[in-house]
Amino acid sequence: MNPRDAALAAWLKQDEEMRQAKREAMLREEKARHEALVAAERARFEARQAQKKAEKAQREAKRIAELATPEGRLKTEKRAQEALRKRQKKLESRKRARMLLEERKAAEEEQKRLKAAKLEAKRRRAERLAQKAERRKEAREAIQRVSPHEVRPGVFKAPRKAVIIPKPATPAWLDRSKGGYINYRKLKEMQEEQSLARKRVRLENLQRRALDVAEENEQARVRRELMTRKKLEEAQLKSFQLNRSKWLFKGIVGASLHDKGNAKALQHIFYNEMEPSTKAVTSSTGTEVLFGYNKNEGTGNEIATIQVPGLPPVLLPNVRYPLTVTPNTSSGRQRLFQKKFYDIVFEAASLSGRDLNLRGLHFVATRSVLQDLFQCAAGTLAAHHWARLDMHIVKGTVFLQRPSREYSEEVGLAVMEARGPNWGYTFEEAVTKRLPPYENGGNYLHMLRYHIGNHDCAVLAEVDACKEKPAPLANPKERPGASTIMKEGMTFKRHRTRPMPIELAVEIKTAAVADGVGERHFNTMLEFSANHAWFGRTPWLMLAQHTDGKFKGHRMIDTKDLIIGFEQRHQTALRKLDRLLSILREEALR
């Protein structure tokens, strides 16, 4: 090992020992502070209990003093009698109200029963009359079929007072062949047919009404079943969500899934009651790239690797379309580093020669954490979405970190949510190429520094691709020499390459659409990607649509106007995010 590497290794070891000593001192201070808080809480609880006992003793002494005198005993008896009288009056009023409610319900039930019985009686009577008329008609028709002569009940002359005026259209019941005599048999048949028709209509109406009532009852029963099923499904969904969110309470003293015990919230924050900050939030204040690095978690027995200054895959200049790719299915597990998340960031910064200066820095967070806080401030976070953020404080700087869900020490994997078929990763691999020496570099991340309102933030964001190959170094000797360091089961590599300028960063977004979906879905993708572009300060956006993995083309968009439009549309939400960060910082530093 050359002297420079030996000096660097010794410096890294000394720096690690100093950091370890600082961490142990911070832990001791935190433990002492926690013990002091517990002792103060216990003292306050004991003081409250003693005060309650003293008040109870005073009340008891006052009562005994009153009982010692005749006037006091008389007052006590009067108060007891008055309390008993009020209690009896209250019980009687409740009993009377209960009886009135029961009588009202019984009367309503009786009215419903009588109404249903009346409808049923009408229906049965109409059925009997219809059956009787039908039997009469059948008997008449049977007699006419059997007798060779026309069966008539008789032909009678019209009453003396009746005036018969023949009409051009002779009715069936007027027999002109008999000199204008009335054919009573036909008249009676017509009257019976009309009566039978009316009875049939009445019966049909009753049957239709009965069917409507039965249908309404069935619909009410179905609604009750649906409501019951919905309540059960909501209870099952709530239980499922609680089981899914069990990892949120891991490491919190006194907290569990169903009973949070003595764990107390520092403050409840409601987005609709939060006032936006007075300062405008804009991206025009400038963005500084502190450093970048590639991280590769490794697969199987491979060792995790960190490479600086890092470089994302470069877009291919000529991509032939249509392009068909196969989907990538996630296994639902993700390999984790053995070290903590921000320890890797500090190691990468130190290796690249750009130490992360915390002076004047308010927050250190990832882009996804800031996006979750933005959704909370805007009130667009889904009701079933559970989020947890761990806050760490170092020299007045608040580190925001999203904890891992579950971790298996045997295989070193974190359990994540399994996803369905995804064509985005395979599309990125098809349209990009990794340049040496980062062929196995994994994901590329860079640390940005910009302002969100009144707060100076360092934001770690991932970059999908580089728009073009960066220019080579004019004088490679100006950069630190290449080196490789093995530390705590990880490999740290430093290369003599030019860091990627932020002007070449590209965000790639894909979406599956059906045939015929055009500009409207593209605008939806554009609105969705504006959030990522603003928090990641990404200057270029590559949008591609596909149908079952078949891409017909892509669009390369300059995000300058997109970011300005996002700021104008969501200025109130961004100011609320600024206020939310102020609240978090105040609570963390309290």
Residue 45: its pLDDT value, please?
A: 93
What would the mean pLDDT of 405-422 be, rounded to a whole number?
Answer: 49
**Residue position matching structure tokens 């998340």:** 341
Tell me if residue 463 falls in helix, strand or coil.
strand
For range 24-41, the mean pLDDT = 92
- The whole-chain average pLDDT of the chain stands at 79
Q: Which residue type does 231 have?
A: K
Using CA atoms, how far residue 215 sits from 202, 212, 221, 222, in Å, is: 20, 5, 10, 10
- For strand 455-463 and strand 443-452, is the pairing parallel, antiparallel, or unpaired? antiparallel
Question: Residue 3: enclosing H or E segment and its boundaries?
Answer: helix 3-67
* pLDDT at residue 270, as a whole number: 66
pLDDT at residue 407, as a whole number: 44
8 Å CB contact between 334 and 442: no
- Which residues does 296 contact at the CB level (< 8 Å), separation at least 6? 302, 304, 305, 307, 440, 441, 442, 443
Mean pLDDT of the 544-568 span: 89
Least confident of 306-320, 393-407, 563-577: 393-407
The pLDDT tens digits of the residues spanning 480-495 come to 667 777 777 788 888 8
In a domain, 106, yes or no: no
Secondary structure E strands in 124-251: 174-175, 181-182
Lowest mean pLDDT among 141-155, 221-235, 483-497: 141-155
- Report the SS3 class of residue 50: helix
State yes or no: pLDDT of 390 exceeds 90: no
Q: For residue range 429-441, what is the model confidence (pLDDT) as tens digits? A: 999 999 988 888 7
Percentage with pLDDT > 90 across the chain: 28
Is residue 429 in some structural domain? yes
CB atoms within 10 A of CB 338: 11
**424 touches 510 (CB < 8 A):** yes
3-state SS, one letter per residue, for 533-555 = HHHHCCCEEEEEEEECCEEEEEE
**CA gap 284, 277 in Å, rounded:** 18
Residue 427, number of CB atoms within 10 A of its CB: 22
Confidence of residue 120 (pLDDT cuts 50, 70, 90): very high
Query: How far is C-alpha 566 from the chain's CA centre?
Result: 23
User: Residue 320 is part of which domain span?
Assistant: 294-589
**For 36-40, which contacts have Cβ atoms below 8 Å and span 24 or more sequence positions?**
none
551 Ramachandran zone, left/alpha/beta (phi>0; psi -120 to 50) = beta
**pLDDT tops 80 at residue 156:** no
The answer as to whether 209 is a domain residue is no
pLDDT given for residue 346 in this prediction: 85
> Does any domain span residue 551?
yes
Angle at the Cα of 416 from the Cα atoms of 413 and 418, rounded to 5 degrees: 120
Residue with the two structure tokens 């409840």: 268
What's the mean pLDDT in 566-585? 92
pLDDT score of 148 more than 60: no
Helix axes 367-378, 519-536, angle to 10 degrees: 110
| Alpha-carbon gap, residue 489 to 339, rounded angstroms | 9
- CA–CA separation, 186 vs 195, rounded Å? 14
The SS3 call for residue 57 is helix
Strand ranges (E), 395-453 = 397-401, 406-408, 413-415, 421-422, 432-433, 443-452
Angle at CA 113, nearest 5°, toward 201 and 123?
A: 20
Q: What is the mean pLDDT of residues 125-149?
A: 78
Q: At residue 182, what is the residue type? A: I
pLDDT over 60 at 327, yes or no: yes
How many domains are there within the chain? Answer: 1
Q: What's the pLDDT score for residue 440?
A: 81
Residue written as tokens 């003693």?
50
Query: What confidence score (pLDDT) does residue 463 get?
Result: 94
154 lies in some domain: no
Q: For residues 328 and 422, is the Cβ–Cβ distance under 8 A?
A: yes
Helical H segments across 420-518, by residue range: 424-431
Report the pLDDT value the prediction gives residue 208, as an integer from 0 to 100: 87
Residue 54 lies in a domain: no
What does the pLDDT read at residue 66? 78
Per-residue pLDDT at 187 exceeds 90:
no
User: Considering the domain boundaries, does residue 446 fall inside one?
Assistant: yes
What are the angstrom distances between the C-alpha of 495 and each of 14, 294, 310, 345, 499? 23, 11, 8, 17, 10
In-domain check, residue 289: no
Q: Name which of 21-25, 41-45, 182-186, 548-552 the model is least confident about.
A: 182-186
Categorize the per-residue pLDDT at 333 as very low, low, confident or very high, splitting at 50, 70 and 90.
very low
The number of residues making up the chain comes to: 590
Q: Nearest CA to 479 among 468, 503, 500, 495? A: 495
Over range 316-345, report the average pLDDT: 71
Task: Work out the average pLDDT over 298-308.
Answer: 77
Q: Both ends of the chain: CA-CA distance in Å?
A: 48
Tokens of 429: 């691999």
Q: What pLDDT shows up at residue 466?
A: 94
CA distance 257 to 249: 7
* CB contact at 8 A, 295 and 445: yes
Q: Are strands 363-366 and 397-401 parallel, antiparallel or unpaired?
A: parallel
Burial of 439 (0-12, 13-18, 19+ CB in 10 A): exposed
- Of all residues in the chain, the percent with pLDDT exceeding 70 is 76
pLDDT tens digits, residue range 236-261? 666 555 555 555 555 555 444 444 44
Tokens of 25: 């001192």
For residues 449 and 363, give the distance between their C-alpha atoms in angstroms, rounded to a whole number.
Answer: 10
pLDDT, one tens digit per residue, over 61-117 is 887 887 778 888 888 888 889 999 999 999 999 999 999 999 999 999 999 999 999
- Residue range 396-403: mean pLDDT, rounded: 84
Question: What is the pTM (predicted TM-score) of this model?
Answer: 0.56
- For residues 296-307, average pLDDT: 76
pLDDT value for 160: 46
Predicted local distance difference test score (pLDDT) of residue 411: 41
